[in-house]
Amino acid sequence: KAGVTQTPRYLIKTRGQQVTLSCSPISGHRSVSWYQQTPGQGLQFLFEYFSETQRNKGNFPGRFSGRQFSNSRSEMNVSTLELGDSALYLCASSWDRVGNTEAFFGQGTRLTVV
């Protein structure tokens, strides 16, 4: 059974640009959550999608957005990139969203903004 796949693995962007990251969950999983990891702030929740609907959102500016497709694949978009957006972006998929279902993480996309 394939794991959670995130693409691309590494990305370098310039300030002001926008970026789209992709996450393919484990087959059958309907929930995809996104997280940002930085040395200063650690791991922080961005948002959760379930059945193509955003179910929960963390405390991030509106430049961070996402969506989920009918096959449960999810994308997140960051517009008008800032240097502080440099981070490891991780997604996690779960079978359901009842809260006590195991989360499976992808390898992450390392974004560097220059």
Partner 1 sequence: KNEVEQSPQNLTAQEGEFITINCSYSVGISALHWLQQHPGGGIVSLFMLSSGKKKHGRLIATINIQEKHSSLHITASHPRDSAVYICAASQDGNKLVFGAGTILRVKS
Contacting positions for partner 1 (CB under 8 A)? 31, 33, 35, 37, 42-45, 48, 50, 55-56, 58, 88, 90, 92, 94, 97-108, 110
Find, among 2, 80, 73, the residue nearest to 34 by Cα: 73
Tell how strand 104-105 and strand 42-50 pair up: unpaired
Nearest to partner 1 of 18, 41 (CB atom)? 41
Shortest Å, Cβ 78 to partner 1 = 18
Q: Which amino acid is present at 30?
A: R
Nearest to 46 by CA among 61, 54, 38, 35: 35
Minimal distance, residue 13 CB to partner 1, in Å:
18
Task: Name the residue nearer to partner 1 (CB basis): 35 or 64.
Answer: 35
Question: One-letter amino acid identity for 102?
Answer: E
